[in-house]
């Protein structure tokens, strides 16, 4: 199995109410997709160990960028906006895996220091499932 670097990663978004093309978010430094699943206990009297069933799944997307107030996609990542996303961990070339879905922007943070870059962090609560596909 081959390992890959993330230096070619790409994040694309579109306002979920817009029928236009998905566009690249500029100045991205890091991103992540976290998925977790609930469990539902179904143990009963007489069981010698607890047993569980699979419950609902939930996902969040986090994006960190150098802040660019002229980038329309960064400006779209504003609290409560509903957006469509596509995350390409290793680039957009043919055969590359990517993840897509829809979510609500739940947080936006812009930070800086006197000796550093202005940075922005965004969190998206995914609504529904994250889909894996190949470009």
Distances (CA, A) of 120 to 63, 67, 128: 8, 5, 25
pLDDT at 56: 97
Closest alpha carbon to 117 in 66, 71, 65 = 66
List the alpha helices (DSSP H) in the chain. Answer: 72-76
Residue 9 pLDDT exceeds 70: yes
Instruction: Determine the Cα–Cα distance for residues 42 and 48; give it in Å rounded to an integer.
Output: 13
DSSP-based three-state secondary structure for 63: strand
Query: In which band, very low, low, confident or very high, does the pLDDT at 1 lie, cut at 50, 70 and 90?
Result: low
pLDDT tens digits, 11-52: 999 866 666 668 899 999 999 999 999 999 999 999 999 999
Say what the alpha-carbon torsion angle 74, 77, 78, 82 is, to the nearest 10 degrees.
Answer: 150
Asked if residue 100 lies in contact with residue 84, where contact means CB atoms within 8 angstroms, the answer is: yes
pLDDT at 20: 67
> Quick one: what percent of the chain has pLDDT higher than 70?
94
Q: Is the pLDDT higher at 23 or at 54? A: 54
pLDDT at 2: 79
pLDDT at 17: 62
Q: What are the structural domains, with CATH classification, of the chain?
A: 10-134 (2.30.110)
pLDDT at 30: 96
């Amino acid at each position: 199995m081959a390992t890959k670097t993330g230096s070619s990663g790409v994040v694309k978004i579109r306002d979920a109410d817009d029928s236009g093309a998905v566009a690249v978010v500029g100045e991205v430094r890091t991103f992540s997709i976290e998925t977790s699943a609930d469990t539902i206990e179904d143990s009963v009297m007489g069981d010698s160990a607890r047993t569980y069933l699979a419950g609902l799944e939930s996902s969040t997307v986090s994006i960190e960028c150098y802040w660019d107030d002229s980038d329309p996609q960064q400006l779209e990542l504003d609290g409560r906006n509903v957006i469509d996303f596509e995350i390409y961990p290793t680039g957009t070339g043919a055969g590359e895996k990517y993840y897509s879905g829809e979510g609500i922007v739940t947080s936006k943070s812009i930070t800086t220091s006197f000796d550093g870059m202005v940075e922005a962090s965004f969190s998206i609560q995914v609504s529904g499932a994250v889909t894996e596909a190949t470009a």
